[in-house]
Amino acid sequence: MRFFNRKKSKRPVTVQSMPEDSIDHSLPDDEWLARSEERFRWMVENYYGSCDTIGRGGQERYGYGDFGTALFFYQKSIDVLHTNYLFGQMRNRQPSPDDAWIVDGYTRSLGASLAMHPAAPIDSSVREVTHRLRTIATACERVGLPSQLYREALQLMAQYAPHVKLDDVLG
């Protein structure tokens, strides 16, 4: 008989017992990134609410040296910024220097991830964030807000991941 008739968790035991430290850096690059994304998916439900709360998940993971998981947290945070600015039409939040820690968190996580795992398959993440930042920058320019934070992040991402095909990414 189960304790208080609780249902079994649907999370696999291997994911449920993840330690707080970083994913094993000795793993092959693709497996390291897959485990980082798996950890992010397992943890993100504790950070939903706003781009800032999701970004804090990235800060925490980065602080543990868990750069791959941080990358996915910051990617999601930028996705929420994009939703606020484009679909929310900047009613509840406007692009500003307040976004810098999130955008910088993504680029730092990307750089750290690739420094340790140069063959990690980060193309999908970089393509998504490129689209989001290009679109945010264009929206800023359309309404007369500064866009350099987002444009500079795009330039840095291109330096870190020049192998990622981006010529077909709209923004």
Among 10, 83, 22, 19, smallest CA distance to 50 is for 83
pTM over 0.85: yes
For the domain that residue 136 is a member of, what is the CATH number?
1.25.40
The answer to whether position 33 is within a domain reads no
The answer to whether position 85 is within a domain reads yes
Buried b (16+ CB within 10 A) or exposed e, 153-162: bbebbeebbe
The answer to whether position 9 is within a domain reads no
Q: What is the DSSP string of 67-93?
A: HHHHHHHHHHHHHHHHIIIIISTTSS-
Tens of pLDDT along 6-56? 344 444 333 444 557 779 999 999 999 999 999 999 999 999 999 999 999
The answer to whether position 24 is within a domain reads no
pLDDT for the residue 170: 77
The answer to whether position 67 is within a domain reads yes
Where helices occur in 18-122 by DSSP H, the ranges are 29-43, 51-63, 67-82, 100-116
pLDDT for the residue 13: 33
Range of the domain at 73: 49-164
Q: For the chain, which residues score pLDDT lower than 50?
A: 1-17
Query: Would you state the structure tokens that stand for residue 124, as one six-digit string?
Result: 């999908």
Domain count, the chain: 1
The answer to whether position 43 is within a domain reads no
The answer to whether position 11 is within a domain reads no
The answer to whether position 17 is within a domain reads no
